[in-house]
Structure 1
Amino acid sequence: MAQPTAEPVEDYDYEALPPNFSLLQNMAAGAFAGIAEHTAMYPIDAVKTRMQILNPTATPAYTGVMRSTYQIASSEGLFSLWRGMSSVIVGAGPAHAVYFATYEAVKHAMGGNQAGVHHPLAAASSGAAATIASDAFMNPFDVIKQRMQIQNSKKMYKSMVDCARYVYKNEGLGAFYVSYPTTLSMTVPFTALQFLAYESISTMMNPTKQYDPLTHCAAGAVAGGFAAGLTTPMDVIKTMLQTRGTSSDPQVRNVNGFMGGCRLLLQREGFRGFFKGVKPRIITTMPSTAICWSAYEFCKAYFIKLNSTSS
């Protein structure tokens, strides 16, 4: 009887995560993707924060991406655009490790890793579960980041640790999580939409689900931009809640939840106020998600191929 021939090393099953993609490797890929995503477009994210803050007395007003970038760089120095990035680097790695580990575990449990088959419910559900887990870890770091992005923050905080101490001392532990429900109201639908769009586009472009950098980059960019635009209103309220402790406006300082933020924003700026910063948010998110998915899928393919070669 003829002996079965061994499969060549190159024909590894990219989607067969267990047992060919360990939890530790998955978390390492996620951490690498998270840091790459958040640091690449950080200056535009800083501009978005300035544009979203509800402060009618701010001078100058931040009204456009290019104009605001120039205003910040010329008045506060070029490196002010990167102020607070250390908080993202410290938090994004572990948060995205948890994020992608949860995503892959839930997706696999729901049967979403079958090659050639599209599972929109598995994609959306795994994305939502991943977000709930990672945001619980990342929310305090996001608060620190936004506090350091605001105008004149250099006078208040010397570093990430100094900012954390200041917030805790003056506003208590709750200040780090007051925006968590609002963050989830934004990130759960954002992630569900993004993962649904990403899986749909990538499956359409690459039905065999083999590693393809162009597919992962393009699908990630389109999915991220689509989800970012639709969830901008929740992002505006999140920014209000995370920066309220720095406001001189008593109404802003007393906002303590999503509905209170919505009422104040509607009263002050009308419906248009809910889409403040939508352009820099999309401009930031599209390349960020493209980088994130590309970095994650690259690491995923590398580790799976490495495991196949060594087995």
Structure 2
Amino acid sequence: MASEKPQVAYQANLKQALLAGAFAGTAVDTALFPLDTIKTRLQSQAGFIASGGFRGVYSGILSAVVGSAPNASLFFVTYEATKRLLGASVDHTKYAPFIHMTAASFGEITACTVRVPTEVIKQRMQTKQFQSTSAAVSNVLRTEGILGFYRGFLSTVAREIPFTCIQFPLYEYFKRSYSNYKGRMVEPYEAAMWGSLAGGIAAALTTPLDVCKTRIMLSHKNQTAKQYNGIISTMKRIVAEEGPRVLLAGIGPRVMWISIGGSIFLGMYEKAVKTFVQLQLLEDRR
């Protein structure tokens, strides 16, 4: 009889996924914030230098830190729950890529309810439109209302779903293949390595969508220039006014940021899950 394939990685319950996601999200957003700032300024219509250059690369970090834990927690809870729901109803091995793409897409849509408001404030501070988080928040409320915090929601989802549909099936495939090759579960540091590779590939392929998302989020009602609205119209306008190369603006920092970020994010998540599972096993033995 053929030996049973090893479990790929430690499996978290939804409470553990919630906590592990919070740890992972906070760690990556705090550690890599300067790279995110540089990427945002490179994509700004005003230009890198006018948006602040290398000065004040931690502008907007408060918004990012406040949103990172609930954002990542929502993603992983939805991702794990959807994976289990779909995996229980179909052949998990045969339909694994479909399951991972669907689960990751639902996870991103849920997470964007928290991510988008924090991104709006963070990016406007990163490009020196405001000097403090409170000023940015009050300005959005006064000029655009509550819906102003969700400016770019659809463009963010339109960026995140293709990104996550590339990253997570690749990540799960890399983990599964490596686990089968080694004949054991993947360790957190190994998951970090595969998360970095999957994230870098997805980041490069979705940079044009990220450029459009950034332009839309940086637009506001009081600006003199025409606002950006919608992924397709923004992409057409950038190509017509600035050339197609601008759609790859910030690709270097973006790939670097998400490669390192994918390593920290998924490595920390797997490490936290492993720790929680081991603690639970010790508790159950008492």
TM-score of the two chains, using structure 2 as the length reference: 0.88
Aligned to 1:72: 54
Q: For residue 14 of structure 1, report the CA deviation from its aligned partner.
A: 7.4
Indicate the percent of aligned positions where both proteins have the same amino acid: 30
Helix, strand or coil at the partner of 1:250: coil
Matched, 1:233 2:208: yes
Matched, 1:210 2:185: yes
Matched, 1:53 2:28: no
Give the Cα–Cα distance (whole angstroms) in 2 for the partners of residues 59 and 24 of structure 1.
42
Give the Cα–Cα distance (whole angstroms) in 2 for the partners of residues 16 and 145 of structure 1.
34
Matched, 1:22 2:26: no
In the alignment, is the contact (CA less than 8 A) between 1:203 and 1:209 conserved in 2?
no
Helix, strand or coil at the partner of 1:28: helix
Aligned to 1:244: 219
Give the Cα–Cα distance (whole angstroms) in 2 for the partners of residues 247 and 235 of structure 1.
23
Aligned to 1:102: 78
Give the Cα–Cα distance (whole angstroms) in 1 for the partners of residues 136 and 110 of structure 2.
24
Matched, 1:157 2:131: yes
Q: For residue 240 of structure 1, report the CA deviation from its aligned partner.
A: 0.6
Q: For residue 246 of structure 1, report the CA deviation from its aligned partner.
A: 8.3
In the alignment, is the contact (CA less than 8 A) between 1:178 and 1:257 conserved in 2?
no
Alignment partner of 2:100 out of 100, 119, 123: 123
Q: For residue 13 of structure 1, report the CA deviation from its aligned partner.
A: 6.8
Query: When the two structures are aligned, how many residues end up with a matched partner?
Result: 274
Q: Which has the larger radius of gyration?
A: 1
Give the Cα–Cα distance (whole angstroms) in 2 for the partners of residues 184 and 294 of structure 1.
24
Of 28-37 and 206-215, deviating more is 206-215
In the alignment, is the contact (CA less than 8 A) between 1:194 and 1:223 conserved in 2?
yes
Give the Cα–Cα distance (whole angstroms) in 2 for the partners of residues 211 and 177 of structure 1.
38
What are the ranges of 5 or more consecutive residues in structure 2 without an aligned counterpart?
1-5
In the alignment, is the contact (CA less than 8 A) between 2:9 and 2:186 conserved in 1?
no
Aligned to 2:3: none
Give the Cα–Cα distance (whole angstroms) in 1 for the partners of residues 16 and 271 of structure 2.
12
Give the Cα–Cα distance (whole angstroms) in 2 for the partners of residues 177 and 263 of structure 1.
22
Helix, strand or coil at the partner of 2:220: helix
CA deviation map 1:120-152 (0-9, x unaligned): 2211111111001101221100100101100x3
CA deviation map 1:163-208 (0-9, x unaligned): 1111111222222222011111110111111101101111111225
CA deviation map 1:290-310 (0-9, x unaligned): 100011001111111111111
Q: Which amino acid in structure 2 is aligned with residue 147 of structure 1?
A: R
Give the Cα–Cα distance (whole angstroms) in 2 for the partners of residues 168 and 248 of structure 1.
16
What are the ranges of 5 or more consecutive residues in structure 1 without an aligned counterpart?
1-11, 63-67, 74-79
Helix, strand or coil at the partner of 1:168: helix
CA deviation map 1:213-272 (0-9, x unaligned): 232111000000000111111111111111112885422xx3222233122211111211
Give the Cα–Cα distance (whole angstroms) in 1 for the partners of residues 275 and 15 of structure 2.
14
Aligned to 1:91: 67
Matched, 1:299 2:275: no
Give the Cα–Cα distance (whole angstroms) in 2 for the partners of residues 304 and 224 of structure 1.
26
Give the Cα–Cα distance (whole angstroms) in 1 for the partners of residues 49 and 69 of structure 2.
34
Helix, strand or coil at the partner of 1:131: helix
